[in-house]
Amino acid sequence: MKRCVALTSIAIAMIGCGLPDSRVSTTTFDGGKKLELFAAYSTNAASVTIEAFADVADGTPGTLDMTGAFHMRCQGQFHPPDPAFANPDDLPALDIGEGHDGTGGIQPPQGSYTAIVTIPSKNARISKGFFADGRPIDKFTGVVEMPVDCVPVADTRHQMNVMLPAYVTAVEVWVNRMDQSAGKTRMLALAVQAAEAVASGDHTTALSDMTQVSEIDQAVNSESIAHSGFILRLTLDSIALLNQPVPPS
């Protein structure tokens, strides 16, 4: 994923100087502890960066939702600030798979969005709206690529009908591009079968196929085979959608 450290560094510097920044929301919980949220679209990078910081213990779970034209849900944990980067009030940052960089610069479709961060154990919540100019969905895969600990969410039946086939097909595309390995032939057969199952409405078979693809991908050692990491991430995204009840409308 692309990184957008420069963007957040400017915002954090403004916070530290007490200057207002429209990209930042702040609130308090537990008698005055801080929870801060940065959410903005960068025209130069054509991407969105969302970061959250909170006065909580290392390892405290947190959830990030980005709702709007594209809904993404991330599960992560707060960890101590990285001394190599500026950080508002030296607060722990929410890590959702990209470390200090939050969402790491995702590229969702054009539209209005709301970033929402919750800390369930503290009953704390904060949100921030923003607009993303957006860019066409990746022409190669047809999907939005997300941080490791994030998955897509379909809020309507139409979104499910569009997103699920796209993510399952993206798995097939990347399996086709991966280096030859002991598992490629089987993975490709499963990916093709999963796409056919989704097209016919057989989500049970598709879920089984995608689960097997992810298991084989991990078994063949994703660190040593080109594109294996993309395949694993996309299979997990597909599995998340397949496990989600189809919205009623």
Nearest to 167 by CA among 220, 237, 216: 237
Quick check: helix, strand or coil at residue 199? helix
Give the number of domains in the chain: 2
Nearest to 248 by CA among 166, 159, 157: 157
- Domain around 130: 5-139+144-152
Task: State whether 135 and 161 are in the same domain.
Answer: no
C-alpha distances in angstroms, 108 versus 30, 48, 121? 34, 8, 30
Task: State whether 67 and 166 are in the same domain.
Answer: no
Q: How far is CA 142 from the centre of its chain?
A: 16
DSSP-assigned letters across all residues of 5-25:
HHHHHHHHHHHHTT---TTEE
User: Domain boundary at 104, 127, 152, which?
Assistant: 152
- Residue with the larger pLDDT of the pair 116 and 46: 116
User: Can you give the pLDDT at residue 167?
Assistant: 96
Task: State whether 64 and 88 are in the same domain.
Answer: yes
CA pseudo-torsion sign 143, 237, 215, 194: negative
* 3 state SS for 78-139: EECCCCCCCCHHHCCEEECCCHHHCCCCECCCCEEEEEEEEEHHHCEEEEEEEEECCCCCCC
Task: Give me the torsion for CA of 68, 137, 174, 218, rounded to 10°.
Answer: -20
What is the distance between the alpha carbons of residues 184 and 222, in angstroms, rounded to a whole number? Answer: 12
Is beta strand 71-79 parallel, antiparallel or unpaired with respect to 61-68?
A: antiparallel
Task: State whether 224 and 133 are in the same domain.
Answer: no
Flag whether 87 is in a domain. Answer: yes
User: Domain boundary at 119, 152, 185, which?
Assistant: 152
Average of per-residue pLDDT across 2-18: 39
Global pTM reads 0.85
Task: State whether 128 and 159 are in the same domain.
Answer: no
Flag whether 248 is in a domain. Answer: no
CB 24 within 8 A of CB 117: no
User: Can you give the pLDDT at residue 145?
Assistant: 87
Average of per-residue pLDDT across 165-191: 91
Triad 215, 219, 223: Cα angle to 5°: 115
- Residue with the larger pLDDT of the pair 18 and 227: 227
